[in-house]
Amino acid sequence: MDIDVLRPRDLTAGQVDHWRALQSADPSVDSPFLSPLWAQSVERVQGGEDPGLRVAVLRSRQGDCGFMAVRAGPFTAMAPGAPMCDYQGLVAEPGVTLDPRRLVRALGVGRFDFSHMLEDQTAFQRFMRGLDRSFLVTVPDGYEAYATERRAAGVGVLKDTDKKRRKVEREIGPSVFTADSRSQEDFDTLIRWKREQLHATGQTDIFAVDWTLNLLRDLFAQRDPEFGGVLYTLHLGGRLATAHLHLHGRSVIHAWMIAHDCELERYSPGLLLFQDILKWMDGTPYNTLDLGPGDYRFKRELANAHRGIAHGFVGVPSPAALMRGAAYSVRAAAEALPLGAMSELPGKAMRRLDIVRGLR
Q: pLDDT means per 10 residues in the chain (360 residues)? A: 95 97 94 97 90 96 95 96 96 93 97 96 96 96 96 94 96 96 97 94 91 96 94 97 96 96 95 98 96 94 96 97 96 90 90 90
**What's this model's pTM, rounded to 2 decimal places?**
0.94
pLDDT of residue 309: 97
Among candidate residues 73, 71, 75, 54, the one with its CA nearest the CA of residue 316: 75
Phi, psi values for residue 116, rounded to 5°: -140, 45
pLDDT of residue 1: 81
Please, is 75 exposed, middle or buried when counting C-beta atoms within 10 Å of its C-beta (0-12, 13-18, 19+)?
Answer: middle
pLDDT of residue 164: 96
| Identity of residue 104 | V
Q: Which helix (H) or strand (E) segment is 319 a member of?
A: helix 319-335
Strands (E), 237-287: 239-248, 252-260
pLDDT of residue 340: 86
pLDDT of residue 97: 87
Please, is 27 exposed, middle or buried when counting C-beta atoms within 10 Å of its C-beta (0-12, 13-18, 19+)?
Answer: middle
pLDDT of residue 48: 79
Distance CA 195, CA 205 (A): 6
pLDDT of residue 342: 87
| DSSP assigned state of 317 | S
Distance CA 112, CA 68 (A): 12
CA-only gyration radius of the chain, Å:
21
Is the CB of residue 84 less than 8 Å from the CB of residue 281? no
Among candidate residues 244, 239, 309, 298, the one with its CA nearest the CA of residue 268: 298
Distance CA 82, CA 73 (A): 13
Distance CA 93, CA 264 (A): 48
Distance CA 97, CA 66 (A): 9
- DSSP letters, 41-69, are HHHHHS-SS---EEEEEEEETTEEEEEEE
Distance CA 207, CA 197 (A): 12
